[in-house]
Amino acid sequence: MSRINPEDYFDFEEIFQERVPRIKKGRKPTKSDKEQRKKEIAEAKGKRVKEVKELISFQLRYFPDFDTPEGQAQAELYLKWLENSLKMGFALMDDKDLQIKTSVSSVKAGGQQRQKNRTSVRVRHLPTLISIKNEDERVLGQNVITAKANLFTRLENHFKLWQIIKRDSPSPLNLEMEIKDLLQAKEKSVTS
Exposure string over 89-100, b if 16+ CB within 10 A, otherwise e: eebbbeeeebee
Is the pLDDT confidence value at 21 over 80? no
pLDDT in tens, 93-111: 999 999 999 887 665 565 5
pLDDT recorded at residue 188: 61
The answer to whether residues 72 and 66 touch, using CB atoms and an 8 Å cutoff, is yes
The answer to whether residues 166 and 179 touch, using CB atoms and an 8 Å cutoff, is no
Tell which phi-psi region holds residue 171, choosing left (phi > 0), alpha (psi between -120 and 50) or beta. Answer: beta
pLDDT in tens, 113-162: 545 667 789 999 999 999 999 988 878 889 999 999 999 999 999 999 99
Three-state DSSP state, 120: strand
Q: How many domains does the chain have?
A: 1
Give a yes or no: residue 13 inside a domain. Answer: no
pLDDT recorded at residue 139: 85
pLDDT recorded at residue 159: 94
Is the pLDDT confidence value at 182 over 50? yes
- Where in the sequence is the domain holding 156, given as residue range(s)? 33-191
What are the strands of the beta sheet with 130-134, ordered from one edge?
A: 98-103, 120-125, 130-134
Give a yes or no: residue 151 inside a domain. Answer: yes
Per-residue pLDDT, averaged over 27-52, amounts to 85
pLDDT recorded at residue 9: 47
CA distance readout (Å), 93 to 3, 57, 153, 155, 157:
87, 21, 10, 8, 13
| pTM confidence score | 0.74
Give a yes or no: residue 14 inside a domain. Answer: no
Give a yes or no: residue 114 inside a domain. Answer: yes
Residue 130 — φ and ψ, nearest 5°?
-85, 135
Q: Which long-range contacts (CB under 8 A, 24 or more apart) does 135-138 make?
A: 135/105, 135/106, 135/108, 138/110, 138/113, 138/114
- CATH code at 67? 3.30.160.20
* Dist. CA 62–CA 80, nearest whole Å: 18
